Chain A
């Protein structure tokens, strides 16, 4: 069974750094794009970016370029979303999702989400 398991909820202060994770299992982790998507409180879905673990090819949504860093360690089947300097506006649920089929460029299944709360 294909699964994506995300790290647990985080509570941080503005200015702190954070890295959350998404571990894939049940498939060849290197060969499928991983997407990251944000849902701010009471709002809709926003595309953060995508990473191809096989070669770490990474693409960011313009709104998130320079604000976050995507990475992946294919040796442990894990993708990461990293902030150097958190802001209150980074609060939200962050989902990872796997490409539905090789080269399909659609995404499913999804992880359960990681709630990130940034508050002083």
Chain B
């Protein structure tokens, strides 16, 4: 099974700052990686797929990069609504899918 390790577990930043979240795969997953946003009491939301493609309703301040084993989700300028948990997910060996353990982005 491909294991995804996200870092940091918790990231404390202020609105307007830049956020950088990391996801590392135990084996290469090419570009088959997505990022999801999860807020308490809400449905998860697909933000980024194929490592760098924004989903249709994802704001431009969100960007994804990486390939192989190292991936990054960047939020250029944090808005209040961006404080949430973020999960990466791989599907390199479909139908096997795994999630990372998540990064909680909290207000400093």
How many whole Å from A2's CB to the nearest CB in chain B? 11
Give A90-120 as 1s and 0s: 1 = Cβ < 8 Å from B's Cβ atoms: 0000010100100011111111110000000
Tell me if A's interface is mostly helix, strand, loop or mixed: strand
Find out whether the CB atom of A106 lies under 8 angstroms from the CB atom of B49.
yes
Residues from chain B with Cβ under 8 Å of A111 in the complex: 43
Find out whether the CB atom of A110 lies under 8 angstroms from the CB atom of B99.
no
Number of interface residues of A (CB under 8 A): 24
Contact A45/B36 with A50-B95, A106-B91, A108-B55 known, Cβ cut-off 8 Å: yes
CA distance A87 to B96 in the complex (A): 25
- With both beta carbons as reference points, the residue of chain A lying nearest to B99 in the complex is identified as A45
How many whole Å from A57's CB to the nearest CB in chain B? 9
| Neighbour of B87 across the interface among A44, A97, A106, CB < 8 A | A44
Residues from chain B with Cβ under 8 Å of A39 in the complex: 38
Give B85-101 as 1s and 0s: 1 = Cβ < 8 Å from A's Cβ atoms: 10101010011111111
Residue B46, interface by CB 8 Å: yes
Residues from chain B with Cβ under 8 Å of A45 in the complex: 36, 38, 44, 87, 89, 99, 102
Contact A44/B100 with A105-B94, A106-B91, A108-B55 known, Cβ cut-off 8 Å: yes
CA distance A91 to B93 in the complex (A): 28
* 8 A-B interface contacts by CB (under 8 A): A37-B99, A44-B99, A45-B87, A50-B95, A62-B1, A95-B43, A104-B49, A108-B44
